[in-house]
Amino acid sequence: MAGQATAQTGHDARDSVKIYFRQGKIDLVPELRDNQKALDRIADSLRNTYADSIYRLQRIEVVGGASPEGSVKLNKWLSEKRAGVLFDYLSRYGSLPDTLKTNTFLGRDWYGLIRLVENDPDVPYREETLRLLREIAGEAKGDLPAKGDHLGRIQRLRGGAPYWYMYKNLFPELRASRLYLWYEKVWNPVVPIPEPKTEVAIAPPRVDTLVIHDTIYIYRCPPCKPFYMALKTNMLADVLALPNIGAEFYLGRDWSLGADWMYGWWKTDRRHRYWRAYGGDIYLRRWFGRAAKEKPLTGHHLGVYAQMLTYDFEWGGKGIMGGEPGGTLWDRANWGVGLEYGYSLPIARRLNIEFNIGVGYLGGKYYEYKPVDDCYVWQATKQRHWFGPTKAEVSLVWLIGCGNYNKDKGGKGGRR
């Protein structure tokens, strides 16, 4: 059991670890400076509780809070998810019955913020800020919503100078989960409890207290560089015999950029049958919702897109050709822009199903013709101006990259 004995007041030994998470995220990757060694120390103490240690694990508690600018409801959900991640991490070193696990959510930690301001002389207008925070703390109780727009009051104080300083330097301290582990010190004949040196007779060893006050600050840093990418195919286009492929890259902060391409050039000259199309689109998406917060490229998204395509459809009768005959893609294509909404649903460890619909404008020239003998007779040239659905997808998505997998969909656990 690592740590320093500092007091004796009962029968518990307590170890505490403060773990920071990136804003709005729940995944834990403990690597930075000496933090891995610190977690190894915690892991070693856990392993000992299942071996020949004189300490036995009694209880594990994860306490989480929220900074003032966060939604209490969302932060409570994040706190519960982060607690589960920490319990999963500790479970690597031995079975943890549910009876040992507890989770506490503090709500907006106004008193924690007050302590941070009291200890930071660089906070602009510090005394005035403290007076306002103490007034707010008296009106707010734990995870109950405080009456009034308290965040707005802080933001308006002195033009926002105290708020922006606290947002950058102090709020991250409140977005942490503290992990407490309690141990009971027990008699073990294999590992005798050390007794203090004394000149008088020593009574038999008894249960006493060891309190460990180590606090380890674990800053988030991934063991491998985070990378989220998706390869996909629109199964609706596949059914229509239009082979296609797409790629999407996560840019960070819930934004992604992607592009799709299709190419199908089928024809039967003897029977005057043509089913030809090629082109693609490029899009920018903003992901939102709980699933998107838990893992990139998952859940709801809104986006904008631009598309370009050419086509030639004729099935033994009148044909329609989009774009300039004989030209390049740039002067023969129809083009469009629009807004899209979609949802990406996990179905396997590295697979999602994505549903997407887009509405916008599609324009450009198209030509009507009829096949006569071995010739194609032009009938009319028209200009397309279409407002409405211009994009529909039910795509199979393959997730690629470090950490880019669905944790609850089977398979072996990866590095967190």
For the chain, domain boundaries: 12-218, 229-400
Confidence bin at 180 (pLDDT 50/70/90): confident
* pLDDT computed for residue 344 by the predictor: 94
Longest Cα–Cα distance of the chain, Å, equals 119
Neighbours of 298 (CB within 10 A): 25
What's the pLDDT band for 304 if we cut at 50, 70, 90? very high
pLDDT at 146 over 50: no
What is the reported pLDDT for 330? Answer: 66
Q: Does domain 12-218 have CATH number 3.40.50.720?
A: no
Highest mean pLDDT among 46-55, 290-299, 318-327: 290-299
* CA angle (334, 304, 265) in 5-degree steps: 35
Strand order in the sheet with 55-66: 101-108, 55-66, 176-185, 12-20, 215-218
Range picked from 108-112, 339-343, 374-378 for highest mean pLDDT: 339-343
How would residue 210 be classed by pLDDT, with cut points 50, 70 and 90?
very low
Looking at residues 238-246, what average pLDDT do you find? 90
Contact 184, 12 (CB under 8 A): yes
Region of 26 (left: φ > 0; alpha: ψ -120 to 50; beta: rest) is: alpha
> Range with the lowest mean pLDDT among 72-81, 126-135, 239-248?
72-81
Q: Which residue has the higher pLDDT, 155 or 408?
A: 155
* Lowest mean pLDDT across 24-28, 318-322, 339-343: 24-28
Name the percent of the chain lying above pLDDT 70: 72
Q: State the average pLDDT over residues 261-282.
A: 81
**Averaged pLDDT for residues 74-88:** 80
What pLDDT does residue 3 have?
36
From 63-72, 119-128, 195-204, 404-413, the region with the lowest mean pLDDT: 195-204
Q: What is the pLDDT averaged over residues 182-207?
A: 53
Q: How many Cα atoms within 13 Å fall on the side-chain side of residue 135?
A: 12
Closest by Cα among 81, 17, 403 to 212: 17
For 211, how many CA atoms within 13 A lie in the half-sphere containing its CB? 6
Cβ neighbours for 333, distance < 8 A, ≥ 6 positions apart: 279, 308, 309, 310, 322, 323, 364
The structure's pTM equals: 0.48
Instruction: Assess whether pLDDT exceeds 90 at residue 267.
Output: no
- Give residue 259's pLDDT: 95
Of 34-43, 89-98, 313-322, 335-344, which one has max mean pLDDT? 335-344
Q: How confident is the model at residue 414 (pLDDT cuts 50, 70, 90)?
A: very low
Is the pLDDT confidence value at 79 over 90? Answer: no
pLDDT (average), residues 194-215:
45
Q: How far is CA 53 from CA 50, 97, 167, 170, in A?
A: 7, 19, 44, 39
Give the E-state strand segments of 225-350 in sequence order: 229-234, 244-252, 255-268, 273-288, 299-315, 319-322, 334-348
Would you place residue 188 in the very low, low, confident or very high pLDDT band (cuts 50, 70, 90)? low
% pLDDT > 90, the chain: 25
- Separation of CA 36 from chain center: 22
CATH class of 229-400: mainly beta
| Reduced DSSP (H G I as helix, E B as strand, rest coil) percent helix, strand, coil of the chain, to 5 | 25, 40, 35
Distances (CA, A) of 409 to 230, 344, 350: 17, 14, 8
pLDDT of res. 10: 42
Q: 264 pLDDT exceeds 70?
A: yes
**Residue 242 confidence (pLDDT):** 87
Residue 406 exposure: Cα atoms within 13 Å on the Cβ side: 22
